[in-house]
């Protein structure tokens, strides 16, 4: 019996989603695995099966860690460093890919080098006043804008601004989640996502079916409430033309490789049709190195769509981790 420590919780704003991911993983582990919950509190304390303990003691008692953390500390390379120090195999991307993937500003540079199209964007400078940053954004690109914390997931702190005052307010709101903020041009289009799995079904980088995301009418985009409120339509496989789906699959693979992701990832896109000439353009927005695996999450739906199962997927990821 392989002992699996399922790492969840953490200090980030996404700790609640992480707990749901961890609970789903524990509930779906195949029979040859024995799951143990490792919870990191908001204060950074480590609990093993409900009792406080030292990370080293906890990690010495498991064969492999399933990293179900999301956001700061869990997805940015920090917990990966701890796991590396103690020599514990773990699922998901390693230190560098996690750090790059979590940093939206840095990730864009990697996407550009890989030839992937990204929206026009601007990032704030250290200690730059919000009003001055907003003025600089306005000189670079006109409204509307998508404002994001540079290092967060699950659309936490993300908002759309359509005028200057709203832009300043959105920047201030995003700064609550960290010192760096990125503002992108708002691109009218259809939202989509595509997962990639390593060494799956005899392919080095297997692209899962593209999913189209259709938020409820009350939402401007696939924000936190739309993601987890249960009202968003998620069409899998998506209803895009086959060339568009094939292009997104290829872009997801390229992004996965460009960041150096490991085991699995999920890339998010906007598909826009230019009114002038009818040309379709696909923009990559970001890569999630630890996509959510809750019952509402996108990746499990794509796994089911190819005739696989959640349990088979977990077994595959743990097998990859143990091969290290």
- Here the CATH number for the domain that contains residue 6 is 3.40.50.20
Please tell me the predicted confidence (pLDDT) of residue 275. Answer: 59
Q: 12: domain range?
A: 2-91
Q: CA-to-CA distance for 265 and 288, rounded, in angstroms?
A: 6
State both tokens at 38. Answer: 């490792």
Q: Burial, 267: exposed, middle or buried (Cβ in 10 Å; 0-12, 13-18, 19+)?
A: buried
When pLDDT is cut at 50, 70 and 90, the band that residue 314 belongs to is: very high
Q: Residues 33, 142: one domain?
A: no
Q: CA-to-CA distance for 186 and 175, rounded, in angstroms?
A: 19
Please tell me the predicted confidence (pLDDT) of residue 34. Answer: 97
Q: Residues 17, 81: one domain?
A: yes
Last residue of a domain, one of 39, 72, 91: 91
Q: How far apart are the first and last CA of the chain?
A: 19
Please tell me the predicted confidence (pLDDT) of residue 279. Answer: 82
Query: Considering just the CA atoms, what is the radius of gyration of the chain in Å?
Result: 19
Within a domain: residue 300?
A: no
Last residue of a domain, one of 185, 209, 224: 185
Q: Residues 159, 105: one domain?
A: no
Q: Residues 140, 255: one domain?
A: no
| CA-closest candidate to residue 124, choices 113, 115, 137, 133 | 133
Q: For residue 134, give the CATH number of its domain.
A: 3.30.1490.20
Q: Residues 216, 150: one domain?
A: no
When pLDDT is cut at 50, 70 and 90, the band that residue 141 belongs to is: very high
**Is residue 282's pLDDT more than 80?**
yes
| CA-closest candidate to residue 95, choices 284, 319, 268, 289 | 289
Last residue of a domain, one of 135, 150, 185: 185
Within a domain: residue 206?
A: yes
Please tell me the predicted confidence (pLDDT) of residue 152. Answer: 74
Whole-number average pLDDT of the chain: 93
Within a domain: residue 309?
A: no
Q: CA-to-CA distance for 91 and 26, rounded, in angstroms?
A: 14
Q: Residues 174, 271: one domain?
A: no
Please write the tens of the pLDDT for every residue from 161-201. 999 999 999 999 999 988 999 999 999 999 999 999 999 99
Please write the tens of the pLDDT for every residue from 255-267. 999 999 999 999 9
**Is residue 22's pLDDT more than 90?**
yes
Q: Residues 174, 251: one domain?
A: no
Please write the tens of the pLDDT for every residue from 201-210. 999 999 999 9
Q: Residues 106, 236: one domain?
A: yes
Q: Residues 111, 193: one domain?
A: yes
Collapsing DSSP to helix, strand or coil, 289 comes out as coil
Please write the tens of the pLDDT for every residue from 23-73. 999 999 999 999 999 999 999 999 998 899 999 999 999 999 999 999 999
Q: Burial, 17: exposed, middle or buried (Cβ in 10 Å; 0-12, 13-18, 19+)?
A: buried
Q: Residues 54, 70: one domain?
A: yes
Within a domain: residue 282?
A: yes
Q: Residues 16, 132: one domain?
A: no
Within a domain: residue 318?
A: no
- Which phi-psi region, left, alpha or beta, contains residue 52 (left: φ > 0; alpha: ψ -120 to 50)? beta
Within a domain: residue 310?
A: no
When pLDDT is cut at 50, 70 and 90, the band that residue 227 belongs to is: low
Please tell me the predicted confidence (pLDDT) of residue 224. Answer: 54
CB 148 within 8 A of CB 157: yes
When pLDDT is cut at 50, 70 and 90, the band that residue 274 belongs to is: low
Within a domain: residue 319?
A: no
Domain count, the chain: 3
Could you tell me the maximum CA-CA distance found in the chain, to the nearest angstrom? 62
Q: Residues 108, 220: one domain?
A: yes
Please tell me the predicted confidence (pLDDT) of residue 147. Answer: 97
Within a domain: residue 37?
A: yes
Residue carrying structure tokens 């339509």: 233
Q: For residue 210, give the CATH number of its domain.
A: 3.30.470.20
């Amino acid at each position: 019996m392989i002992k699996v420590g399922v790492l969840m919780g953490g200090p980030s704003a996404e700790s609640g989603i992480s707990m749901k991911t961890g609970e789903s993983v524990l509930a779906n582990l195949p029979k040859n695995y024995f799951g143990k919950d490792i919870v990191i509190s908001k204060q950074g304390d480590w609990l093993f099966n409900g009792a406080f303990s030292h990370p080293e003691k906890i990690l010495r008692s498991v064969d492999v860690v399933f990293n179900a953390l999301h956001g700061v500390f869990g997805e940015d390379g920090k917990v990966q460093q701890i796991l590396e120090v103690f020599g514990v195999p773990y699922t998901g991307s390693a230190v560098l890919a996690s750090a790059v993937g979590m940093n939206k500003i840095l990730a864009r540079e990697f996407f550009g080098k890989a030839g992937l199209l990204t929206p026009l964007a601007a990032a704030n400078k250290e200690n730059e006043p919000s009003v001055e940053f907003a003025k600089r954004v306005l000189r670079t690109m006109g409204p509307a804008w998508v404002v994001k914390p540079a290092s967060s997931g699950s659309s936490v702190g993300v908002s759309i601004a359509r005028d200057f005052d709203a832009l300043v307010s959105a920047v201030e709101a995003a700064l609550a989640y960290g010192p760096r903020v990125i503002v992108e041009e708002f691109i009218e289009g259809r939202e989509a996502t595509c997962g990639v799995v390593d060494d799956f079904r005899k392919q080095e980088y297997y692209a899962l079916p593209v999913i189209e995301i259709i938020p409820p009418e009350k939402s401007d985009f696939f924000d936190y409430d739309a993601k987890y409120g249960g009202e968003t339509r998620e069409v899998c496989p998506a209803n895009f033309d086959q060339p568009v789906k094939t292009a997104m699959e290829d872009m997801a693979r390229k992004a996965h490789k460009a960041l150096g992701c490991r085991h699995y990832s999920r890339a998010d896109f906007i598909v826009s049709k230019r009114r002038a000439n009818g040309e379709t353009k696909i923009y990559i927005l970001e890569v999630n190195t630890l996509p959510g695996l809750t019952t509402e999450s996108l990746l499990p739906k794509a796994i089911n769509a190819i005739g696989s199962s959640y349990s088979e997927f977990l077994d595959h990821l743990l097998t990859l981790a143990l091969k290290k």
